[in-house]
């Protein structure tokens, strides 16, 4: 048995061990492997425990430098992630000595009892391993929960950006439920429904934590930021143009730097159009394309165009490739006249 437990995760992030995720994955899963040194050979069936505490910036740096290795190997997806909100502004040092709460003390006593019954320090001593099974009702509930959480990890789902973690959640639920059973029902042979429910509830919390942690690093977050930035730029440009529609080519020439390239701009602009935030119009008097907004009195027309001039709404190309999820533009970026429920009128 092995454990890597540290309140300074940077020591692991800078170690050679991090470069061998395959070995760590096998140890975590309890898979046997052979190890040879000089004239000696070993057949090892390890069980690995990992517990790391890291400052947010240190962890982000590790992810940025080891993204492919850490995620591609499945190493990171095996962890249960959580984050702690800093309490630096609410600490009270005037209440005397700090006391460990009684519940935590009782928990430590219970764990120490388990360790004494499974002491690995004495050669020749071993403890028979118990195999727990899911009760029939619990098995059905576990399967239903798998369908539910994996659906959230599909494209457009709220956990799309942590799909790898979600796919490991089922096995982690069983591990948690097994621990709960051993802790609370020492002689039980099956994992009952109530215990599984508690494990699933806890796993949902861990998944929400992971979602919050990794969302800022996700492609989805970047896409939503691009959409908000583009919308804000377009509305500023329209305002500077005396609240008239602007040429689409203006975005390609003067828009946000990283969104000027067609392959980047098209998907973001199409998403805003599909959700009704913007539209593309073409005046019948000429072929130029304009980015417009629907307001209380109709569509904004180009500068110089009269309200009675005819135009066509141009549907974006590859509209079927729009993202499956919606982009939420902050209300403060949307002019009052562009809001579908606005009581104000531009004219």
Q: What are the pLDDT digits (tens) for 159-206?
A: 999 999 999 999 999 999 999 998 888 889 999 999 999 999 999 999
Q: Return d(Cα 52, Cα 10) in angstroms, integer.
A: 9
Q: Return d(Cα 25, Cα 160) in angstroms, integer.
A: 23
Q: Is the pLDDT of residue 22 over 60?
A: yes
Q: Is the pLDDT of residue 235 over 50?
A: yes
Please report the DSSP string for 238-290 in residue order. HHHTTS-BEEHHHHHHHS-GGG-SHHHHHHHHHHHHHTTS-EEEEETTS--EE
Q: Is the pLDDT of residue 97 over 60?
A: no
Q: Return d(Cα 78, Cα 170) in angstroms, integer.
A: 11
211 and 116 assigned to the same domain: yes
Q: Which residues pair with 299 in a beta bridge?
A: 294
Q: Return d(Cα 3, Cα 27) in angstroms, integer.
A: 10
Q: Region 143-148: what's the mean pLDDT?
A: 97
54 and 114 assigned to the same domain: no
Domain boundary (217, 236, 269) is at 217
Please report the DSSP string for 59-93 in residue order. HHHHHHHSHHHHHHTTSGGGSPP------TTT---
115 and 165 assigned to the same domain: yes
Taking a C-beta distance cutoff of 8 angstroms, is the pair 70, 62 a contact?
yes
Domain boundary (217, 243, 258) is at 217
Residue 324 confidence (pLDDT): 62
Domain boundary (161, 185, 217) is at 217
Sign of CA dihedral 297, 302, 308, 313: negative
224 and 321 assigned to the same domain: yes
245 and 317 assigned to the same domain: yes
- Of residues 304 and 226, the one with the higher pLDDT is 226
Domain-located, residue 87 = no
Q: Region 130-156: what's the mean pLDDT?
A: 94
Which tokens belong to 277? 């935030």
228 and 203 assigned to the same domain: no
Q: Region 225-237: what's the mean pLDDT?
A: 95
Other beta carbons within 10 Å of 207 = 22
21 and 37 assigned to the same domain: yes
Interhelix angle 193-214/163-184, rounded to 10 degrees, is: 140
Name the nearest CA neighbour of 199 among 134, 296, 273: 134
As for how many domains the chain has, the answer is 3
Domain-located, residue 97 = no
Domain-located, residue 129 = yes
For 48-80, how does the pLDDT look when each residue is reduced to its tens digit (9 = 90+)? 888 999 999 999 999 988 888 888 888 889 999
Can you give the residue range of the structural domain that contains 46? 1-79
Taking a C-beta distance cutoff of 8 angstroms, is the pair 293, 342 a contact?
no
For 308-329, how does the pLDDT look when each residue is reduced to its tens digit (9 = 90+)? 889 999 987 766 655 666 888 9
114 and 207 assigned to the same domain: yes
Q: Phi and psi (nearest 5°) for 281? A: -125, 155
């Amino acid at each position: 048995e092995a454990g890597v437990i540290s309140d300074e995760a940077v020591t692991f992030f800078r170690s050679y061990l991090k470069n061998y995720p395959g070995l760590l994955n096998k140890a975590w899963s309890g898979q046997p492997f052979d190890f040879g040194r000089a004239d000696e050979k070993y057949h090892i069936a390890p069980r690995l425990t990992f517990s790391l505490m890291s400052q947010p910036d240190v962890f982000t740096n590790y992810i940025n430098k080891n993204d492919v290795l850490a995620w591609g190997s499945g190493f990171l997806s095996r962890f249960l992630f959580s984050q702690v909100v800093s309490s630096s502004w609410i600490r009270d040092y005037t209440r005397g000595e700090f006391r460990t709460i009684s519940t935590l003390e009782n928990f430590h006593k219970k764990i120490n009892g388990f360790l004494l019954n499974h002491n690995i320090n004495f050669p020749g001593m071993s403890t028979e391993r118990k195999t727990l099974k899911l009760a029939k009702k619990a098995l059905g509930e576990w399967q239903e929960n798998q369908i539910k959480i994996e659906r959230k990890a599909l494209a457009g789902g709220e956990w799309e950006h942590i799909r790898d973690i979600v796919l490991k959640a089922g096995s982690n639920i069983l591990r948690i439920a097994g621990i709960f059973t051993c802790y609370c029902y020492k002689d039980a042979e099956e994992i009952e429904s109530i215990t599984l429910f508690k494990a699933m509830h806890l796993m949902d919390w861990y998944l929400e934590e992971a979602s919050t942690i990794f969302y800022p690093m996700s492609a989805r977050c970047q896409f939503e930021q691009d959409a908000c930035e583009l919308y804000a730029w377009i509305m500023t440009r329209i305002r500077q143009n005396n609240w008239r529609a602007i040429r689409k080519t203006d975005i390609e020439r003067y828009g946000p730097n990283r969104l000027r390239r067609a392959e980047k701009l098209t998907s973001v602009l199409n998403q805003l159009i599909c959700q009704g935030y913007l539209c593309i119009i073409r005046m019948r008097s000429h072929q130029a394309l304009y980015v417009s907004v629907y307001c209380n009195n109709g569509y904004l027309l180009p500068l110089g165009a009269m309200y009675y001039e005819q135009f066509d709404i141009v549907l974006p190309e590859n509209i079927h490739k729009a993202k499956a999820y919606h982009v939420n533009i902050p209300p403060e970026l949307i002019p009052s006249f562009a809001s579908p429920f606005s009581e104000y009128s531009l004219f």
